[in-house]
Structure 1
């Protein structure tokens, strides 16, 4: 594996070189020194650097010429330009050509310089991860349509491989939106029942007075509206698999009858005197604490133990943040095709925002956010400003600093306007998130008049209801 050097210091001013050397040693950064543009180009051709500190004025190639060489040869090194106070316009021009930022001499705040270098280094690391992600995305990153490279998901895939061929009952735990139904599909597709029926029953979606009829069927005339004999869903799944989603919502009387199906393989349709035999595998899922429901008397203990032969816990998205970029690219491709837009990339800042968000709605919420971003996007790359304000409100700050936006391709005034807009959206969103959408409290925290705060909310098209609803989840 190629060794990466943290810093390439390119300057012919020995005093400045010593300043950067001391800073690098204090921070534990590896570094090399080039005292001219020609030497810098030679080192860049033979080594890999995360960050290059480039003086604008150098012997041989100028700093801008070295920058041009870096960009022309697609070298991933992040560039920080060093300029005198009178050369700021040239440094801004360098940023338009792809430099990450610039440092102005004389240096009166070494800690700020260290912070800028650190952020450039983080940017390099994130860009490398993004490049690797794009390579992974072009290959196979899914298991039975489930996206995930994290250790937790790999463990789940291994468990599915081990249990799929058995007839054991499986109980899947996970928050809403984690993909429990996808897991059930994966188990069924890898089982010996894959050619037989797979019947999905959402226990929370069927009215209580219809549950027994839906599950077990009925005879004609057995109740008002029973105009013909009808098979229940369990009979339709005979020799196959039944997926009972949200099983924690089942009323107690029906739990007894489900238990009989699991224990005896028998059911009795409404209005029928004789029992019927069925042979099904049951996979159940819930986002509720079943042992706690058992203690409260809301779920039968014997049914719980009959279901809990093999259990799988699907981690929430916040506990497998390394899967977020893969999922984001998967949904980007899916939503772009559906919207007939050609958006193939996600900016580094956008991925950082997505990974910093807590995702209470899990994978389902991420898909919705990406779909919205695709609809709102005005460019061929998904940008942070395409995300809902609540995402930026939670993720725009890192260690107290505002994340640098990807503004290097814009003129100064446009870049400033976009950065200010991003800051305002993030700041307002963060206050609304903390106050659960209470405008009066948020405006007080901001030290602003309520009417002016509301004007900013309107200007940046921030939906207050998003924050009020999130407080009720």
Structure 2
């Protein structure tokens, strides 16, 4: 992926020289005659590096840098000057400017060298940020992520598609780890030094979702006091994860299709096309094919995102993974709160093996966390009150029964009962969005149940 460089220089001849040198190295360039124009471009597009003159009519190159650096994902800056003082150079480098170059250039190679070093430094910063994000998100090791025989095929598919650029559709019930799978695709790809940007399409109101994805221009709507970049721009060079894509309103599906096809879009309230290099990974706990049949999802968008489908098995199909996952969560949570928990007593282990886990890995994780808080030494069945309260369904019967919907329906009824029919609380108990719960309530004819 070629780096994108913004050249800000009021001297046309010198600007053309800089452009020629950089393009000869394979870099993609944009130009601005002054800092004000550069700022407009920086608000509209994503760049890896800004090469700017120090002294220009109006705003200076350092003023431009000090405005842009407030963005955590700001590009690297190299400042060119024929007039700068030592004090200005020291001030600029102290504030975060990568380097200063004097005009005229000694030779083209001096520019190439500094640009290469600046881009390498920026790449290292992004890699470090990605590592910290991975650590802070509790990203599990592979032996945990892919525990169980049923996950072997998933691991192979993720490995196969990671290095490609194809759009990926991850399917699976709530709580099966779709976002972790999407992060794994990103971390194993060549884009892993750039951002992984998640968007939960069900958690954002419809009237705000377009702005969230594509950004908006100043004055585009009430409250838009300044231009704002959307998630697509923030994910430039990296991966955009669209969770619960089945919740995307029809009004936005056409715009998403265009971005996937052309890699271009306009902000809300704007008329300028913005180009992005983004790999999209989508996820759903619905059958999108059924959504297409019911005219709730565009068929052309469905076929565009379903280039490489990956289906995550539910936890009831990964029985051999349950002890491994339970041990991992016990070590994780006991370490976090400073308790010494050695494991599970036989009765508790048998109970969690026999339990149906309608909330999948998310429910197992939450149950273990609560048990670690309640338990001492060895976790007992009494430390798992939710498992004791719910009837256990025989796993063989469940595998043979076609009524997975009936299991989900009972879980919804129970969650509504526990929450006093508060749908927001019930959705939290189930680990799904309120919008998904409303859809399920309507689908199962539960709207009159109290």
Give the TM-score normalised by structure 1: 0.54
What is the match of residue 181 of structure 2?
Answer: 183
Pick aligned residue for 2:305 from 285, 291, 307: 307
Deviations 1:243-293 (A, max 9, x none): 000000000110001001100011100121121111111000000110111
The partner residue of 2:324 within 309, 323, 326 is 326
- Sort the Cα spacing of 1:234 and 1:393 in 2 relative to 1 into closer, same or farther, 3 A: closer
Aligned-pair CA distance for 1:316: 0.7
2:405 counterpart of 1:465:
no
Whole-Å Cα distance in 2 between the matches of residues 397 and 265 of structure 1?
49
Structure 2 distance, partners of 1:269, 1:296, is 30
Q: Give the match for residue 379 of structure 2.
A: 382
Tell me the distance in 2 between the aligned counterparts of 1:368 and 1:467: 21
Runs of 4+ in 1 over 4 A off after TM superposition: 141-146, 395-399, 466-473
1:293 to 286, 291, 294: 291
Q: Could you list the runs of 5+ residues in structure 2 that have no partner in the other structure?
A: 1-138, 397-409, 431-436, 441-450
The alpha carbon displacement at 1:148 in A equals: 3.5
The Cα of 1:348 is off from its aligned counterpart by 1.7
Q: Which residue of 2 aligns with 1:13?
A: none
Conserved in 2, the CA contact under 8 Å of 1:328 and 1:367?
yes
Task: Name the larger-Rg structure.
Answer: 1
Counterpart selection for 2:166 from 168, 181, 197:
168
Q: Give runs of aligned pairs for residues 203-214 of structure 1, distance below 5 A.
A: 203-214=201-212
The alignment yields a C-alpha RMSD, in angstroms, of 3.0
Task: Give the distance between the partners of 1:398 and 1:195, measured in 2 at CA.
Answer: 42
- Unpaired runs of at least 5, structure 1: 1-140, 400-432, 438-463
Query: Does the 8 A contact of 1:142 with 1:148 survive in 2?
Result: no
SS in 1 for 2:174: coil
Q: Residues 258, 390 of structure 1: CA spacing in aligned structure 2 closer, same or farther, 3 A cutoff?
A: same
Q: Structure 2: how far apart are the matches of 1:242 and 1:233?
A: 7
Q: Cα distance 1:142–1:213, how it changes in 2: closer, same or farther (>3 A)? A: closer
Q: 1:393 to 1:238 in 2, by over 3 A?
A: closer
Which residue of the partner structure matches residue 343 of structure 2? 345
Distance in 1 (CA, whole Å) between partners of 2:142 and 2:185 is: 9
- Tell me if structure 2 keeps the 8 A contact 1:216–1:232: yes
Contact 1:390–1:467, Cα closer than 8 Å, also in 2: no
* TM-score, normalised by the number of residues in structure 2: 0.57
Note the C-alpha offset of 1:393.
Answer: 4.7
Partner of 1:71: none
Report how many residues are paired: 275
Q: Which residue of 1 aligns with 2:354?
A: 356
